[in-house]
């Protein structure tokens, strides 16, 4: 029976909630582990009690010694599973309604400074790979794209005349994101080099291609960003999500409102966007020095 419940749950996440493959895989794996725990303890998952859930939480924390973030993820998956069972009327009461997940310390996203961004975007790229990487940085910073959205971006999804890109986010949700003229110019310059390099060759329709004319992989993007960061003397390691964080932080610092930023980032929940409202400590220190009577 457990296998049927798990399969139905995965189908619910995939087709009804339209979550991404990675999310479905993660939730499915965590629920599968929970069902195996039920089976090992000879418990029917449709008849468990809050006490049994407390026992499971203890198993994760004290026996398996999982990190709070891992315990949180697994318990959230179990909660989601029982909400599904309640909707499907397989159970009458939700045993997880009083289950408390561990509180996690809120991590403030790191970001690059404007000076570091200027250094990266003014890097004297010469090879096709370097030109492609600087263009990737420009686009990540201009639109706050996820790396999956970037590598799957197709030529028809970019409009440099009107200044926007069509991104396909988690669960296949699409959104239009405006990009500024300088990003449009950078993309046009890269596409001209790309076309000349792959002239008379049958290549993919994605914007960013590898040396063989196929869609670039996320691993290649990570490696290229890391390499360019070292060449540009950026102290912290570069990765795609760092530019998404930088885009969001710099937009808010420039006066953008949270709702607009939420739309541009493709966040389903405004709470996710609010993490970027953290204080810029360096700016705060400057203001303190300027305005405090003691200087």
- CATH number of domain containing 134: 1.10.443.10
**98 inside domain:** no
Domain check: are 9 and 133 in the same one?
no
Q: Are 148 and 269 in a shared domain?
A: yes
Q: Which domain holds residue 175?
A: 114-284
Specify the pLDDT at position 35: 96
Q: Is 119 a catalytic residue?
A: no
Catalytic, out of 43, 170, 197, 239:
170
- Does residue 291 sit within a domain? no
Residue 141 counted as domain residue: yes
230 catalytic? Reply is: no
**244 included as an active-site residue:** yes
Co-location of 188 and 69 in the same domain: no
CATH code for position 81: 1.10.150.130
Report yes or no on 222 lying in a domain.
yes
| 267 is known as an active-site residue | yes
Does one domain contain both 58 and 137?
no
Q: Are residues 80 and 118 in the same domain?
A: no
What does the pLDDT look like over 125-174, one tens digit per residue? Answer: 999 999 999 999 999 999 999 999 999 999 999 999 999 999 998 777 89
pTM: 0.65
Annotation marks residue 197 as catalytic: no
Does residue 119 sit in the same domain as residue 71? Answer: no
Give the active site residue among 97, 188, 214, 241: 241
Residue 295 in any domain: the answer is: no
Residue 109 counted as domain residue: no
| Domain assignment present for 238 | yes
pLDDT for 46 equals 96
Same domain, 28 and 126: no
Question: How would you write the chain as a 3-class SS string?
Answer: CHHHHHHHHHHHHHHHCCCCHHHHHHHHHHHHHHHHHHHHCCCCHHHCCHHHHHHHHHHHHHHCCCCHHHHHHHHHHHHHHHHHHHHCCCCCCCCCCCCCCCCCCCCCCCCCCHHHHHHHHCCCCCCHHHHHHHHHHHHHHHHCCCHHHHHCCEHHHEECCCCEEEEECHHHCEEEEECCHHHHHHHHHHHHHHHHHCCCCCCCCECCECCCCCECCHHHHHHHHHHHHHHCCCCCCCCHHHHHHHHHHHHHHCCCCHHHHHHHHCCCCHHHHHHHHCCCHHHHHHHHHHHCCCC
Instruction: State the average pLDDT over residues 106-123.
Output: 88
Q: Give me the number of domains the chain comprises.
A: 2
97 labelled catalytic: no
- Of the residues 74, 186, 244, 250, only one is catalytic, namely 244
């Amino acid at each position: 029976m457990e296998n049927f419940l798990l399969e139905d749950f995965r189908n619910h996440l995939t087709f009804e909630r339209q979550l991404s493959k990675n999310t479905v895989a993660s939730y499915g794996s965590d629920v599968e582990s929970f069902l195996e725990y039920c089976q090992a303890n000879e418990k029917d998952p449709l008849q468990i009690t809050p006490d049994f859930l407390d026992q499971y939480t203890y198993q994760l924390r004290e026996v398996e010694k999982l990190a709070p973030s891992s315990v949180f993820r697994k318990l959230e998956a179990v909660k989601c599973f029982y909400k599904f069972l309640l909707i499907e009327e397989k159970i009458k009461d939700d045993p997880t309604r009083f289950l408390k997940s561990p509180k996690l310390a809120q991590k403030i996203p790191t970001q690059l400074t404007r000076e570091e961004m200027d250094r990266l975007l003014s890097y004297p790229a010469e090879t096709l790979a370097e030109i492609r990487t600087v263009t990737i940085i420009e686009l990540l910073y201009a639109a706050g794209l996820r790396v999956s959205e970037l590598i799957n971006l197709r030529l028809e999804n970019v409009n440099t005349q009107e200044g926007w890109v069509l991104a396909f986010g988690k669960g296949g949700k699409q959104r239009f994101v405006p990009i500024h003229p300088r990003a449009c110019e950078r993309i046009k310059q890269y596409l001209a080099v790309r076309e000349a390099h792959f002239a008379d060759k049958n290549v993919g329709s994605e914007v960013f291609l590898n040396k063989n004319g196929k869609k670039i992989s996320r691993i290649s993007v990570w490696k290229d960003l890391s390499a360019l960061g070292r060449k540009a003397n950026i102290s912290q390691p570069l990765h795609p999500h760092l530019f998404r964080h930088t885009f969001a932080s710099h937009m808010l610092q420039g006066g953008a409102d949270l709702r607009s930023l939420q739309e541009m980032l493709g966040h389903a929940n405004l709470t996710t966007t609010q993490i970027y409202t953290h204080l810029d400590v360096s700016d705060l220190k400057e203001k303190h020095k300027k305005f405090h009577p003691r200087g």
